[in-house]
Amino acid sequence: MAKITAGVATSHVPAIGAAMDLGKTQDAYWVPLFKGYEFSKQWMKANTPDVVFLVYNDHATAFSLDFIPTFAIGCAEEYQPADEGWGPRPVPVVQGHPELAAHIAQSVIQQDFDLTLINKMDVDHGLTVPLSLMFGQPQAWPCKVIPFAVNVVQYPPPSGNRCYQLGKAIRRAIDSFDANLNVQIWGTGGMSHQLQGPRAGLINKEFDNAFLDRIVNDPDALAKVPHLDYVREAGSEGIELVMWLIMRGALDAQVKQVHRFYHVPASNTAVGHLILENGR
Ligand code: DHB
Ligand code: FE
């Protein structure tokens, strides 16, 4: 059977991808940020999964105001890196896992979570920057990826609790896939940041660190935090954090935290990162 072995959470700031692509990781500004991912890259070499179920948000790249799926699962064979205005990132094409994605879609939809199915899509920094942070700059990504897009860009976003319960449904779906696969689930985006308006530049270290504590040890209570609390406390883009609850819902009640990192700022954002292992 397929098995979720670990969860990874990380921010997805586009400037991190640009720093890697343009050879700036040794610049003084970036050194402390990339230091926080050195352990992660080593851990990932020892724990490379067959498939990453990658929860992320599209930033009006593949989707637009024309159509806005709340939850959408990628069922395609592959996904090209998107052109977000400066040409596509020079990173490998993302290989999908259509069979597992189709199984998860059917299982999760039959568990009463209505998903949108995606058969063709380019993937933006929300998906490629976490891959770069965890895998570095390989010729090809070392595993398959199922993109799972969540609308946290256009109001209204899904609630934290909806995301957490959806994570549990995804867990049941993956557990019931009849193939011997090592699957990781990643929750990406966040932490506190606001990119526009009078509060642009907002960072809230207390909120972020409490979130890091609670998502590991008290996810049931954390899931009940209403969406407006995220926006008020962590900024309008801080709502990206609800995606971490999908990851957490798909993990065991008790997990082993093997890595935690927090760094302010990267571009306009507080960067948070966790590696959580199942089955401990
Ligand atoms: C930034 C952060 C994001 O999450 C994003 O999607 C775009 C920009 C930033 O900090 O610049
Ligand atoms: Fe973002």
The response to whether residue 234 sits with its C-beta less than 6 Å from ligand 1 reads no
Of 12, 59, 97, 125, which one is the catalytic site residue? Answer: 125
Beta bridge partners of 145: 52
Band (62; pLDDT cuts 50, 70, 90): very high
Closest to 273 measured CA to CA, from 190, 185, 161 = 190
Summarised one tens digit per residue, pLDDT across range 242-253 is: 999 999 999 999
Q: pLDDT tens digits, residue range 9-19? A: 999 999 999 99
CA–CA separation, 185 vs 183, rounded Å?
Answer: 7
Residue 125 is a catalytic residue: yes
- Length of the chain measured in residues: 280
Q: 202 CA to middle of ligand 1, Å?
A: 12
Q: Which atom of ligand 1 is nearest to the CA of 269?
A: 10
Q: Is the CB of 16 under 6 A from ligand 1?
A: no
Burial string for 147-177 (b: 16+ CB within 10 Å, else e) reads: bbbbbbbeeebbbbbbbbbbbbbbbebbeeb
125 exposure class (CB count in 10 Å sphere: 0-12, 13-18, 19+): buried
Ligand 1 contacts CB of residue 59 (under 6 A) = yes
Distance in Å, CA 80 to ligand 2 centroid? 19
Of all protein residues, whose CA lies closest to atom 3 belonging to ligand 1?
Answer: 13
Structure token pair of residue 241: 């954090």
What integer pLDDT is reported at residue 3 of this predicted model?
97
| 59 CA closest ligand 1 atom index | 6
Q: Is the pTM of this model over 0.85?
A: yes
Report how far ligand 2's centroid is from the alpha carbon of 35 (Å): 21
Q: Does the pLDDT at position 67 exceed 80? A: yes
For ligand 1, atom 2, the nearest C-alpha belongs to: 13
pLDDT at 280 over 90: no
3-class DSSP state of 199: coil
pLDDT band at 279 (very low <50, low <70, confident <90, very high): confident
Cα(25) to ligand 1 centroid in Å equals 18
